[in-house]
Amino acid sequence: MGPGSAFVDARRLYLAGAIGLALWLGATFLWHVTYRQGISLPVILFLDQDFPALFGMAMLLALAAPFAEGRGFALPPPSARIVVPLIVLLGLAAWAGHYALFQDYAISRDEEVARFAAAYMREGLFARPIPVEWEPYRRAIMPEFFSPFGAADYWTAAYLPVNSAIQALFWQLGDPNLAGPVLLMAGLAALWRIAVRLMPDRPDAVWVTILLGFSSSQLWVTAMTPYAMTGHFALNMVWLALVLRGGVMGHLAAGVVALVAAGLHQWHFPPIFIIPFILWMLLARRWGVAAFHALTLVAIVIVWAKLWPGFLLHALGAPTDVRPSAGVADKVGSLFQRLGDRWQPLVNLSRYMAWNNILMVPLAVLGIAAMRWRAMIRGQEIALPLALGCLAGCVLALAQGYGWGFRYAHGFIGPFCLLSGLGWARFRPAGALRPLFVGLAITALGSAFLVWRTHEFVAPYAASHRLIDSSQADVVLIDPRGGLYVTDLVRGRDGVPGKPMVMNLGMLSLEQVDRLCQSYVVELFDRAEFRPLGVPLARWRLDRMDALRAHMREAGCDRPVQPPLPETMDEALEAAGNAM
């Protein structure tokens, strides 16, 4: 069937996308808002960010549909001279965005733990020894996501070490916040090379692939953070580029990349990406190659689920405080438990669609439809493993907490873009790029809104952290009641616990509070401080903490955190808002 007979009109594509998105949004709103009790963080972010962005983009898709078809303006061939500078500019923008958008602050506990591990790795350590004076308070200082191995004497991140090691390397080079942008650039470069290899005679389809990647707010914004997901995107694309290159060296290098990727933070993410490609190899009767990559998966389990915990046991000591949970059975059991308790495909995939190009899903559907089924059975359709991976990434739509976009499917943004390019090459005439440009414009408007809402969400927590960090006290106790996710403010400075030593008041006993108040200068950070800074309200109570606070009040140990006094006249005028 020639391209002309398979032509899909952009107007129909736009209308189908708008209608499908409207139906999805309606179902999500009814399920999670109208008929569900309680509001979780994903629903809060959906209402504040994703729903308005998707609703607006769906309306714009429908309004733009009559004007979507056409050639638009021509693009030059996607050569290195043009594409590489664009990738570098996007990486630099992500680096600047960490400071401009996130104000040099990592909002979630996941990110803070990754930076915490990078800090001790930078010092040449595998764990941070707990100072003897703070051992009784170790869990109030490190409330969660800590490794159980040697936990009575060491603070160690619960995650695998590679993501933090990459950050530590860039920290040694000058700035750990360069790690995400550099990985983003590597992933986008690999995506470009894959697209050129798969569609050598359709430069317009290559442009579709890479521009969908360039316009992904999820890729760009997540690269501003310490999240491991940027590494998963990058290493997935590098792995695929090496596999498609082929040869002994290509596959051996891909095996090394898979092993490194599995150690980023949780070892099960790369196998989900790789298994569909092993199936593809088996269909093509490439037995040796399939066996090698299957052995790579075995090596992943041995290294990261067996040898790494064994190393921690030997180096740090037996598990304490909580049970170890790095084993294969633990991982599989946890996955099925979370599928039962935290499977939320509607709200999480809404986040995925909002934070990526608005045309990504409709074009990826065309990519799946472009598969020739007989060729697929013979292992001749690269779209098959791409589609199976995307399906797996979306079906495993577990609640993620924070995340800009749906980060559990972050490693499949590349496959979505490649499917989109393949669908474009099959169902669109060469060079008719107007619908792409219109989609990019609509996506840019949605992205601007999402970036603004992200800044507004993060700013109160960043301001709270700066206030706590400015305290001259020895200890700052955080009473998180009345604020959304205030417990995540329990952290040190640049990943290093120190003065002030920040603790979660809810994890201390009355006797521990007494000892702290008698031995140290203690300040309190509660709703009186964080509510004026704009931290969202959370309505919850804990009677035991009421008793703790009453006791602290009687003992005169409830002085609030105050910013340091200005040292110069200029600082005093600035603090007073230049009232004079």
pLDDT at 252 over 90: yes
Distance CA 442, CA 58 (A): 9
Pick from 144, 244, 234, 154: which is nearest to 187 by CA? 234
DSSP tally for the chain: helices H, then strands E:
26, 5
The angle at the Cα of 339, spanning 336 to 340, to the nearest 5 degrees, equals 90
- Candidate ranges 148-162, 206-220, 493-507; pick with highest mean pLDDT: 206-220
Q: Which residues contact 275 (CB under 8 A, 6 or more apart)?
A: 297
At 33 the three-state DSSP class reads: helix
Predicted confidence band at 67 (pLDDT cuts at 50, 70, 90)? very high
pLDDT at 338 over 70: no
Distance CA 320, CA 301 (A): 24
CB-count exposure of residue 4 (10 Å: 0-12, 13-18, 19+): exposed
Token digits of residue 148: 């159980």
pLDDT at 201 over 80: yes
pLDDT at 245 over 90: yes
pTM greater than 0.85: yes
Question: Average pLDDT, stretch 177-188?
Answer: 98
The DSSP result for 457-471, as a single string, is HHHHHHHHHHHHHT-
- Give one word for 37, left, alpha or beta, with left for phi > 0 and alpha for psi -120 to 50: beta
Position 2 scores a pLDDT of 39
C-alpha distances (whole Å) from 186 to each of 168, 274, 513 are: 18, 19, 49
C-alpha distances (whole Å) from 347 to each of 54, 189, 218, 342, 394 are: 12, 31, 16, 11, 11
pLDDT at 333 over 60: no
Question: Average pLDDT, stretch 484-492?
Answer: 91
pLDDT per residue over 394-434, tens digit each?
988 787 878 899 999 999 999 999 999 999 999 999 989 99
Question: Average pLDDT, stretch 127-138?
Answer: 94
Q: Which amino acid is residue 4, in one-letter code?
A: G
Position 545 scores a pLDDT of 83
Q: In angstroms, how far is CA 136 from the centroid of its own chain?
A: 33
Q: Which neighbouring-strand residues pair with 146?
A: 157
Locate tokens 């898709």: which residue? Answer: 61
Question: Average pLDDT, stretch 332-347?
Answer: 64
pLDDT at 330 over 70: no
pLDDT per residue over 527-559, tens digit each?
989 999 999 887 766 677 888 888 899 888 889
Position 5 scores a pLDDT of 47
Pick from 57, 107, 17, 54: which is nearest to 346 by CA? 54
Position 494 scores a pLDDT of 87
Distance CA 165, CA 122 (A): 8
Distance CA 88, CA 279 (A): 35
C-alpha distances (whole Å) from 295 to each of 33, 275, 331 are: 46, 11, 19
The DSSP result for 35-60, as a single string, is S--S--HHHHHIIIIIHHHHHHHHHH
pLDDT per residue over 493-531, tens digit each?
888 998 999 999 989 999 999 999 999 999 999 998 999
- Above pLDDT 70, what percent of the chain? 91
Q: Which neighbouring-strand residues pair with 493?
A: 496
Position 567 scores a pLDDT of 59
pLDDT at 341 over 60: no
Query: Phi first, then psi: what are they for 375, rounded to 5°?
Result: -65, -35
According to DSSP, the β-strands at 501-504 and 475-478 are parallel
Pick from 55, 28, 54, 58: which is nearest to 43 by CA? 28
Predicted confidence band at 463 (pLDDT cuts at 50, 70, 90)? very high
Distance CA 543, CA 226 (A): 36
Pick from 95, 103, 116, 200: which is nearest to 497 by CA? 116
Position 511 scores a pLDDT of 93
- Above pLDDT 90, what percent of the chain? 73
Token digits of residue 120: 């001790």
Distance CA 237, CA 187 (A): 6
